[in-house]
Amino acid sequence: MIKLEKPDMEQKDIIDVCIDNLKKEPTLSNIKRSRAFIERKSSTYNTLGERGELGKIPVHSKVLGGATKDDMVWIYDKKFVRDGGRSYYDKIMKIPPFARCPFCGVRRVSTLDHYLAKTEYPIFAITPNNLIASCADCNKKKSNLVYKNREDELFHPYYDEFDDEIWLKAKVMFKNEILFEFYVEKPENWTDEKYTRAKNHFDKLELNNLYISHAAEEFSECQYSLKRIYETGGNDLVQVELLDRIKEHRSNMKNTWRAALYEGLLNSKDFFDIYLGGRSN
């Protein structure tokens, strides 16, 4: 989960480019009558986001002034994504460093996700702080999720900091082959609410399965070098190597699946006694 800088753009400018040359009625008239309310609510969204209170926003199907859900969804699909607003779409797509999805931290971004789904919260269909570059898989798993309470809210890349403590862990076992399992461990300084949110995010986006597949590939590529190090200097030298890899992978982010993997290996008795030591289980 990666914290991102908020989009540096104004709601009024996005509305301007989206209705420029728009001839579709009654959508044009509806948006014009609702634009002041949309701009006001965009500011409210940012205020509530900073306070961690986005869950207070009710589901709705109409926008004060006349715009309907269909109007707002159409404006996003036809004008923001494909027409005048495309330059804003592209700018938001470029926000994540290395084009990496902020929700999973692994896959490449390929679409924009509405943190509050546009079908359930249409007033925010073209609100920049509600639009987050993500991978298609995370976008699909989030779908039109409605948050019933704060604990249900997934990580919001513009407002939430989830890399302040180490919470992503991996368990490594040996049962005729190396097995991995990733999980969320509550840091001592975290509240129960924050821990529950991280766990819900992890479970909802099925990150364990994603990280397991990458860990299996990573281990298949590094096992030869780890065995050679063991043959040279035994457990002590392997531990030094694993500590170096953990430090390297946590140099920019505390919670990466690679850092968790190597820490899991470091803490695995099976890995040292059975896999490296050759003792049968």
Q: Calculate the CA 37 to chain-centre distance.
A: 29
Q: Identify the pLDDT of residue 279.
A: 57
CA distance 25 to 14: 19
Q: Identify the pLDDT of residue 173.
A: 87
Backbone angles phi, psi at 51, to 5 degrees: -90, -10
pLDDT string in tens for the chain (281-residue length)? 899 999 999 999 999 999 998 999 999 999 999 999 999 999 999 999 999 999 889 999 889 888 999 999 999 999 999 888 999 999 999 999 999 999 999 999 999 999 999 999 999 999 999 999 999 999 999 988 888 888 889 999 999 999 999 999 999 988 778 899 999 999 999 999 999 999 999 999 999 999 999 999 999 999 899 999 999 999 999 999 999 999 999 999 999 999 999 999 999 998 998 888 765 44
List the domain boundaries for the chain.
11-152, 168-276
Q: Identify the pLDDT of residue 280.
A: 44
279 burial (CB, 10 Å; 0-12 / 13-18 / 19+) is: exposed
CA distance 121 to 144: 9
Specify whether the CB–CB gap between 85 and 18 falls below 8 A.
Answer: yes
Q: Identify the pLDDT of residue 146.
A: 87
The most distant pair of C-alpha atoms in the chain lies apart, rounded to whole Å, by 76
Task: Look at residues 125, 133, 128 and name the one whose alpha carbon lies nearest to residue 108.
Answer: 133
Q: Identify the pLDDT of residue 281.
A: 44
Residue type, 31: I
Q: Identify the pLDDT of residue 91.
A: 97
Q: Identify the pLDDT of residue 176.
A: 77
DSSP-derived letter for residue 179 is E
Q: Identify the pLDDT of residue 61.
A: 86
Q: Which residues have a Cβ under 8 Å from the Cβ of 44 and sit 6 or more positions away?
A: none
Q: Which residues have a Cβ under 8 Å from the Cβ of 186 and sit 6 or more positions away?
A: 167, 192, 195
